Amino acid sequence: MKETLDLPSQLDGSLWLYRRSGVPRFMHRHDELELNLVLSGTGTYLLRGRSYRLTEGSLVWLFPEQDHLLVNESPDYSMWIGVFRPHLVQQVCQAIAAHPLCAAAPQESFCRTLAFPQRERLERLFTELSAHYDNSPLYNLGLAFALALAWRLYLEAEQQPYGTWMPPSVQKALRLLRDEETLTLSALAKQCYQSPSHLSRLFHKYVGMSLADYRNQQRLHRFRRLCLAYPHRELLDLALEAGFGSYAQFHRVFVREMGLSPRQYRKNIEEGALEVVQAGRETARK
């Protein structure tokens, strides 16, 4: 799914600190080049039929035509996220001969682990640059330098294994779960030419979370979008449209994953609660 990031027109990109929020997401891509610098915790990226294990110090590049999804984040997971508009990427690539960054969907892996001094150097730079967000000329110059420095430090880091290849049945299951929210496990397994139990085992092994948990996260993501788009529709209607089988199932999953009831969530939206607004911005960015 291609998304449009919520970036101010006067900026060439953006940097922000992300902490695990429990907010579910879809597999997605966007026109901007993206980098992630993991500060703490662990997670898994699903990308081009492979899964990549992220740990402290991981520096990941995500390209415009690469669908990607972050899953299985540990409670302490945090990272810097940087996104850069195509014209800025072109300028930096020409200036420092960083031509791989101009690719749309390279086949090779772009995930390495930085040593602590290099990671700390980037973290300090990102923190300082974020303080100048309201000064667009200075911020844009800083973004160009941050992109160039991150690429240089990435090249100096040791190469990582090329991710874990996911079997075709798991890749197909991910595509089907993205596009057809009402599929039962039996129907999903049949389309993937596996038994339900074997597909469930494969999915957990290669994705890092159970098929049921992944499916519920996707349903919650759909519900949140529907809730924002249709503020006056009944919660039950939205839950069923998002793919849940009953309100009881939906309520149980929602409280467990989001930490509040669906009605309180809707009330927070109506009252403009800060954390809900931030979650909405996070979804727009990612």
**Coil vs helix vs strand at 262:** helix
Q: Is residue 128 part of a domain?
A: yes
Distance CA 268, CA 280 (A): 12
**Coil vs helix vs strand at 226:** helix
pLDDT on residue 274: 39
**Residue 265: in which H helix or E strand, if any?**
helix 262-271
Examine the domain organization and report whether 19 and 157 are in the same domain. Answer: yes
Distance CA 36, CA 285 (A): 13
Q: Is residue 25 part of a domain?
A: yes
Contacts of 8 (CB under 8 A, 6+ apart): 136
Condensed to tens digits (0 to 9), the pLDDT of residues 73-83 reads 888 899 999 99
Res 134 pLDDT > 60: yes
pLDDT on residue 3: 85
Examine the domain organization and report whether 84 and 188 are in the same domain. Answer: no
Q: Which of 101, 136, 164 delimits the end of a domain?
A: 164
pLDDT band at residue 162, thresholds of 50, 70 and 90?
low
pTM for the model: 0.70
pLDDT on residue 237: 92
pLDDT on residue 94: 92
Condensed to tens digits (0 to 9), the pLDDT of residues 8-29 reads 999 999 999 998 876 667 788 8
Residue whose structure tokens are 């429990």: 22
CB 282 within 8 A of CB 241: no
Examine the domain organization and report whether 32 and 73 are in the same domain. Answer: yes
Distance CA 39, CA 41 (A): 7
Round the average pLDDT of the chain to a whole number and report it.
Answer: 86
Distance CA 100, CA 141 (A): 21
Examine the domain organization and report whether 111 and 180 are in the same domain. Answer: no
Q: Is residue 269 part of a domain?
A: yes
Kindly state the tokens that stand for 274: 């800060």
Query: What CATH number is given to the structural domain containing 199?
Result: 1.10.10
Tally of domains in the chain: 3
| Alpha helix ranges (H) inside 131-259 | 136-156, 168-179, 185-191, 196-207, 211-229, 235-242, 247-258
- Domain containing 115: what range? 13-164
Q: Is residue 220 part of a domain?
A: yes
Listed range (54-68, 89-103, 137-151, 176-190) with the worst mean pLDDT: 176-190
- Rg of the chain over all Cα atoms, to the nearest angstrom: 20
Res 226 pLDDT > 90: no
Percent of the chain clearing pLDDT 70 (strictly above) = 91
Q: Is residue 8 part of a domain?
A: no
Q: Is residue 1 part of a domain?
A: no
| Alpha helix ranges (H) inside 97-167 | 116-130, 136-156
pLDDT on residue 160: 63
Q: Choose among 6, 275, 12: nearest CA to 133.
A: 12
Q: Is residue 250 part of a domain?
A: yes
Examine the domain organization and report whether 18 and 159 are in the same domain. Answer: yes
Res 273 pLDDT > 70: no
Greater confidence, 49 or 40? 40
pLDDT band at residue 161, thresholds of 50, 70 and 90?
low
Q: Is residue 198 part of a domain?
A: yes
Examine the domain organization and report whether 41 and 79 are in the same domain. Answer: yes
Examine the domain organization and report whether 106 and 238 are in the same domain. Answer: no
Examine the domain organization and report whether 129 and 196 are in the same domain. Answer: no
